Structure 1
């Protein structure tokens, strides 16, 4: 339906031909996202599915807004747009734009760096976050987003799961963790990210974390790097002070098993102290109080 609308074609065979041309449309954008596989094993409610199986949601693009009418979904290139789809009743794959994880204080409908669709991209498997255990409330919030994003049909193993709104204190998307519901743990996110590939014949290729190539004018953007670094440090400290020392996801390139599960006591206390310093900034305390009311 989305293709029919945007290609302005009613011929189903032509749409299928166009689909072959556009099958890699979002590959570069999603490849450069922060990936996480979250888990509903500890929740009595499991994931539902719909006839819009790949869901894109942005906390500033509510259902029936101009960005979500009919078959439309928020643009995946908006920094705050998450994309997800359930892999089975207990597992869900979530893509989050790296620029949003690094700086969630920017405007949610800002377009991400290097937003071009059809281009080469590099993926780093060791940065995938896994083993994030979702609470039942979080699963229900995700199911509600799935339900509201459906075109016509939803399905679940249990009828009760089809009515998540009956268990939610609020159905406003922005209240779902104030947009942090689908966010990976920022403490696993690092600065930089340039990838250099060497080949046997001696030539090499370079990609920035956003897919820029050396000849692109934005390949080295010092202003953006500084802004993202400062925002990322603030966000990591806020996250630690809010959610505690245990990581909400695990990556497997962090050394010993214990180091993958939680911050050390000293590290955690240092982050909490840094967060107290950030709270002294003008307007920051009011912003936090607003977040706490929503949580």
Structure 2
């Protein structure tokens, strides 16, 4: 993992972290056994590092070109992209930053010890060179699906607890795929194409990018492990930056739950500037995998999500192209599927009503699709309508009172 990324989680980018080994080795020497220290106090150069992880043995010579040139380019561009999205606004440089961030995240997910182990398993080889070649070949395998997702940039700015760093920082959470499930054993992560799979990537100690499949935001009542409407990992698609939700302020409990998820999905090592943050389970009343945030911990605000989404592009010479919201092209199966749209539209209205009953009238995140600058509170008339719908669907309204000016609503 790049040092520059680790330093984004240190005050001022300097100092050492508390570095926790989740599976410390037992060493036997001269008939005596002992377990190595699980907690270490190290600086970024010593953390998340494995010697010769990307080195290719060519007999008498060791080739480091993959690390120097391929990963070097990914990291250099990724560094600027992470910084761009940490202070996201629609401005010059967005196009390059978007593509560079996607590539960085996709490669980062594959190049960790856990990711390389997964690649070795699917390639059915332990030959390092073959695994690294495969990594470069499929380096963008996550990008199209993440492009079709709803993006949310959430903040821990009002929480005493901040985000931790793990040795598998691009984390996939699916509420139906608990850590001991078949989808999470060994090197496995839940498939990002499963409806309820959500991708987490901390940008700094106080900001995190959350990618939620559009099909899940529109219909969280379907099976969590049904495959998305467009399962092709390498399809062409179009990204709408105006749909990015930002401004959600996470509560202390929500940050603890996110840290717990990242810890449980790490492979072996996690780190933080604050020792206590490495043990979120000690501060949580419950670690029930599927019930964090009423099952909606990572959800963007569905009231800011719309139906439709087909994008048309015209070129000189009267040539045109189109993509629907799932990346289908005209003539392809699934393009603007009427039955799917009707089903999702009904489910989205139901979810918007439930969300209002659960979390109150104030937005938990907002986009720029309607040129709105949040946060804002939905009008009494609209909120009352959603509560009426919630009652019709059988959802009970929570009673809220305003705690302070942090734009959070709490149980009264």
1:246 aligns with 2:356: no
Aligned to 2:182: 66
1:278 aligns with 2:369: no
Deviation at 1:256, TM superposition (A): 4.8
List per-residue Cα deviations over 1:225-271 (Å, max 9, x = no partner): 1110001001101111211110000212334546x522112111111
Residue correspondence of structure 1 range 92-241 to structure 2 within 5 A: 92-241=208-357
List per-residue Cα deviations over 1:120-146 (Å, max 9, x = no partner): 111000000001100010000000010
SS of the aligned residue for 1:36 comes to strand
* TM-score using structure 1 length: 0.92
Aligned to 2:55: none
SS of the aligned residue for 1:94 comes to strand
List per-residue Cα deviations over 1:49-86 (Å, max 9, x = no partner): 11111111111100111110011011101100101110
Deviation at 1:33, TM superposition (A): 0.4
Aligned counterparts of 1:67 and 1:171: Cα–Cα separation in 2: 19
Aligned to 1:292: none
Whether the 8 Å CA contact 1:62–1:172 is kept in 2: the answer is no
1:15 aligns with 2:131: yes
- Superposition misfits of 4+ residues, deviation over 6 angstroms: none
Aligned counterparts of 1:178 and 1:9: Cα–Cα separation in 2: 41
Aligned counterparts of 1:212 and 1:24: Cα–Cα separation in 2: 18
Aligned counterparts of 1:213 and 1:256: Cα–Cα separation in 2: 30
Aligned counterparts of 1:164 and 1:176: Cα–Cα separation in 2: 13
Aligned to 2:104: none
Aligned to 1:30: 146
Deviation at 1:155, TM superposition (A): 0.7
Aligned to 2:118: 2
Query: CA RMSD of the aligned region, Å?
Result: 1.6
Deviation at 1:178, TM superposition (A): 3.2
SS of the aligned residue for 2:153 comes to strand
1:90 aligns with 2:176: no
Aligned counterparts of 2:373 and 2:292: Cα–Cα separation in 1: 30
1:266 aligns with 2:392: no
Aligned counterparts of 1:84 and 1:225: Cα–Cα separation in 2: 27
Deviation at 1:4, TM superposition (A): 1.5
Unmatched 5+ stretches in structure 1: 290-294
1:77 aligns with 2:198: no
Whether the 8 Å CA contact 1:51–1:151 is kept in 2: the answer is yes
Deviation at 1:9, TM superposition (A): 2.2
Aligned counterparts of 1:171 and 1:183: Cα–Cα separation in 2: 18
Tell me which of the two structures has the higher relative contact order, counting C-alpha pairs closer than 8 angstroms and 6 or more residues apart. 1
Equivalent of 2:158 in 31, 34, 42: 42
SS of the aligned residue for 1:93 comes to strand
SS of the aligned residue for 2:246 comes to strand
Whether the 8 Å CA contact 2:366–2:373 is kept in 1: the answer is no
Whether the 8 Å CA contact 1:37–1:93 is kept in 2: the answer is yes
List per-residue Cα deviations over 1:167-213 (Å, max 9, x = no partner): 11111211202320001000010011111011123211010100111
Distance 1:17 1:44, change over 3 A: same
Pick the structure with greater CA Rg: 2
Unmatched 5+ stretches in structure 2: 1-116, 399-410
Aligned counterparts of 1:218 and 1:140: Cα–Cα separation in 2: 39
Deviation at 1:109, TM superposition (A): 0.7
Aligned counterparts of 1:114 and 1:244: Cα–Cα separation in 2: 33
Q: Which moved more, 1:248-257 or 1:16-25?
A: 248-257
Aligned counterparts of 1:65 and 1:142: Cα–Cα separation in 2: 19
Aligned counterparts of 2:175 and 2:372: Cα–Cα separation in 1: 36
